[in-house]
Amino acid sequence: MALLQFSSLSTLLLWAWVGSFSCHDTVAPPQDLQITDPGLLGSLDIEWKPPPNVQTSSECTVKYKLEYCNTGDRDWKVIFTKKLKFRAGFDLSRTAEVKVQTLLEGRCTSNVEVQSDWIYATFQIPLQGKVESEVQNFNCIYHNWEHLKCTWQPGVLAPHDVHYGLYYWYEGLDHAAQCDHYIQDHGINIGCMLQNLSQAEYRDLSICVNGSAATILVQPLYITLHLHNLAKPFPPKHLVVSMSAAEELQVAWSPPGGKTPPQCLEYEVQLAEDQGETKAAWVSVPTQLETTLTIPRANHSRISCARVRGRTNIFCADQGFWSEWTQECFSVPRKENKQLLILISVVMSLSSSLIIFLLIGQCKKRCLKLHGHWVSASVLEGRGGRQQMQHRFSQKPVFGA
């Protein structure tokens, strides 16, 4: 009898333990997932409510896993948060997709993370007009980290009276702002210049280019940019190519200046042989983060030109645009040229000395010839003439006569 009571008690305790574990083995998903558009050109607000009967305590921690993307994206962006609201950027020309689940972990789950089912929501703004009316070939470059230049072409179906407008927003602005400096072609806006965007660097820059026309509806273009990945610096400055005493080729330059951070630049150096009117065959040297490059004597026997360009390095951006090249070619003195100059100098020196010696010899010869003729004429005069000549030589000059 006692054994039976002990067995029944053990069974009840086991069921109680299993029941206590199973109540925390699952957790309910969040509720009322919603996506709203605050009018910020693609930055949407995602909100949800906590699951029922779940509260954060010292024994249990409740957080949420949020994933979102646009329809057609290969990957979902993932966020872990304890909050009930999140703002994310989307391409409003495509459907926004969002899913959220509850994560429960703590002593109540034996420190094992328990996940709920997902809840889903989508968002799509009603697009007006046909796709062919949207602007084409939209392209932006962040020149020298100073101003953003965006250009586009009118849509295929856009009429001649179409009017385009560019609007932008980034975190920190109260509302979307419009471009105040358009680039035009025959009265149609085909581009925009934006300045003073330093606060938008390393943030999502949301842009919308919409249009209006009298005859058709124009579909807007929505896009999200990252300025640091669009930067194009000015060319490096003060490129100097020289030959050291050890006959090593030395190339040195300075950063382009302006607002481009010097620590964010990498460089490419190219070397070539100057072939006159023939196009030089440039050979790239491995990318340098420094602003100097030394090439050993053995590797530059035929090099006579150098150039350099720069772009944002991997420490500041995922990608970027190369700057223009510096002045295309700089002459470099070669060893052969040095030897030729030395040889020319020696030959010219010897030639000058020889000419001087020849002139001196000619002068002496003419002087001796004249002197010899005078002596011969005196001999013909006889002894009297010789005595007269001797008298002339022995007679002293009288000064002051």
Specify the pLDDT at position 8.
47
Distances (CA, A) of 233 to 92, 195, 238, 261, 307: 31, 15, 15, 10, 16
CA distance 194 to 151: 11
DSSP H stretches of helix in 26-142: none
**Residue 265 predicted with pLDDT over 60:** yes
Specify the pLDDT at position 207.
95
Judge if pTM exceeds 0.75.
no
Specify the pLDDT at position 368.
52
Q: Which residue has the higher pLDDT, 22 or 91?
A: 91
The pLDDT confidence band at residue 126, using thresholds 50, 70 and 90, is confident
CA distance 204 to 77: 14
Buried b (16+ CB within 10 A) or exposed e, 114-128: bebeebebebeeeee
Nearest to 32 by CA among 96, 104, 120: 120
CA distance 373 to 385: 15
Specify the pLDDT at position 12.
42
**Residue 2 predicted with pLDDT over 80:** no
C-alpha neighbours within 13 Å on the C-beta side of residue 46: 27
354-359: average pLDDT: 67
Residues in a beta bridge with 294: 250
**Residue 316 predicted with pLDDT over 70:** yes
Buried b (16+ CB within 10 A) or exposed e, 204-222: bbbbbbbbebeebebbbbb
